[in-house]
Amino acid sequence: MDLERMSDQALLGELGRRVQRERLNQNLRQVDLAKRSGLSVRAIRRLEAGEGVTLENFLRVLRGLGRLGQLDNFLPDPGYSPIQLAQLAGSVRERASPYGRERKKHDGEEIQEG
């Protein structure tokens, strides 16, 4: 399955199907997951139908399924490379530059940021 090519709506549908499969694999009813998650049954139904929920509610459902730790697989902490740390001389960046690494015109001439 090529998630990169899927529309947002298709991705929501796929997430909903995966949540539903996990719930059924754990032999849970929607009402049981709702109680574990602190959500309404309607919110569980909406998620499983791919209608979307808030990120907070999605996290509650993952916690209710005992799958919150899977977020590390989804989006691992990238940390800092030794090169970045050396360039920063020990200080850690908290903000990106306003131009990123793209070429921008400044006073009629192109400059390379980053």
Q: What is the pLDDT of residues 63-72, one digit of tens each?
A: 999 999 898 8
Dihedral, CA atoms, 30, 33, 37, 40, nearest 10 degrees? 20
pLDDT at 2: 83
Backbone angles phi, psi at 16, to 5 degrees: -60, -45
In the chain, the domains with their CATH numbers are 3-74 (1.10.260.40)
pTM for this prediction: 0.68
Q: What is the pLDDT of residues 34-46, one digit of tens each?
A: 999 999 999 999 9
